[in-house]
């Protein structure tokens, strides 16, 4: 069961950041440290976000990945091919100003987390879900202290207050805007706060979480075939997922 929550500050910040490719206007992309932040520089000049703020993060590893995106551009700069830059832009222009709201959005996903809703039929799909979902929920119970209730079908099930509070405590630990923005992206793309926290804590890779989140969709594709347009949209979402996981790795675990 996936949420479609209004007022998402990440999405609001991203909405105006899809301009057409422009001619490359720089030769080198690098990172400069100042005042506790690491800022992208283009030919030595600090780069800025769409909101006119410095394009910067607390962790150098994050901005090295951003600089690599800029360095890989060819004769034109295509923002649609720079998912990590878009994420950091969103973190700086959106999430940094709305940290509590962003945390609350993620916690709300836990109230109807994808992993808690199981197919009643066919049995083969229900078994796939069980084999994929249950180990992650077991991890959440052990690592986070969050024990969730399950539902058959799409009927909403009220989650125990203790489980929601455990997720809230886990999300509260994210005080870096880039890390929180990345956690928000993974939550939104998978429909699961539990999967997002599992990726953030290294329990799952981005690819593993993506596969788990798409078990239902993949089951339908096996039965009825794939739609080219839908698969193109899925590929674009995967690029966002991969970038968010890279940002989490760099913001949390990179030296």
CA dihedral 35, 47, 96, 144 (to 10 degrees): -90
Across the range 16-42, mean pLDDT stands at 88
Task: Indicate left, alpha or beta for 35 from its phi (over 0: left) and psi (-120 to 50: alpha).
Answer: left
**Tell me, what's the pLDDT at 18?**
54
Rg (CA), the chain: 19
**Tell me, what's the pLDDT at 1?**
44
**Tell me, what's the pLDDT at 20?**
72
**pLDDT confidence tier of residue 255, bands split at 50, 70 and 90:** low
- For residue range 80-138, what is the model confidence (pLDDT) as tens digits? 899 999 999 999 999 999 999 999 999 999 999 999 999 999 999 999 999 999 999 99
Across the range 32-42, mean pLDDT stands at 95
- For residue range 54-69, what is the model confidence (pLDDT) as tens digits? 999 999 999 999 999 9
- For residue range 138-194, what is the model confidence (pLDDT) as tens digits? 999 999 999 999 998 888 999 999 999 999 999 999 999 999 999 999 999 999 999
Region of poorest pLDDT, from 7-21, 43-57, 119-133: 7-21
pLDDT surpasses 90 at 8: no
d(CA 198, CA 82): 25
Across the chain, mean pLDDT equals 92
**Tell me, what's the pLDDT at 7?**
45
**Tell me, what's the pLDDT at 183?**
98
> Which domains are delineated in the chain?
9-81 (3.30.2180.10), 99-253 (1.10.3580.10)
pLDDT surpasses 80 at 38: yes
Residue 5 CA: distances (Å) to CA of 8, 84, 116, 181 = 7, 23, 18, 15
- For residue range 189-217, what is the model confidence (pLDDT) as tens digits? 999 999 999 999 999 999 999 999 999 99
Better-scored residue on pLDDT, 201 or 14:
201
Quickly list H helices, 35-160.
60-72, 83-93, 99-110, 123-139
**Tell me, what's the pLDDT at 201?**
97
């Amino acid at each position: 069961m996936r949420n479609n929550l209004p007022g998402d500050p990440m999405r609001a910040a991203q909405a105006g950041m899809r301009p057409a490719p422009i001619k490359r206007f720089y030769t080198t992309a690098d990172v400069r440290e100042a005042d506790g932040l690491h800022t992208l520089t283009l030919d030595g000049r600090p780069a800025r976000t769409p909101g006119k703020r410095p394009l910067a993060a607390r962790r150098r590893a994050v901005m090295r990945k951003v600089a690599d995106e800029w360095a890989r551009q060819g004769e034109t700069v295509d923002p649609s091919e720079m998912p990590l830059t878009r994420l950091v832009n969103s973190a700086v222009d959106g999430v940094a100003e709305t940290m509590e709201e962003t945390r609350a959005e993620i916690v709300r996903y836990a109230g109807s987390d994808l992993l808690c809703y199981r197919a009643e039929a066919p049995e083969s799909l229900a078994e796939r879900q069980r084999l994929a979902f249950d180990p992650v929920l077991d991890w959440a119970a052990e690592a986070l202290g969050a024990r969730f209730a399950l539902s058959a079908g799409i009927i909403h099930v009220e989650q125990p207050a203790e489980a929601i509070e455990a997720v809230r405590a886990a999300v509260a630990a994210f005080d870096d805007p880039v890390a929180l923005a990345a956690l928000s992206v993974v939550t939104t793309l998978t429909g699961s706060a539990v999967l997002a926290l599992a990726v953030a804590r290294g329990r799952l890779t981005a690819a593993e979480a993506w596969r788990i989140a798409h078990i239902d969709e993949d089951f339908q594709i096996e039965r009825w075939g794939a739609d080219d347009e839908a698969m193109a949209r899925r590929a674009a979402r995967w690029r966002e997922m991969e970038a968010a996981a890279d940002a989490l790795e760099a913001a949390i675990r990179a030296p």
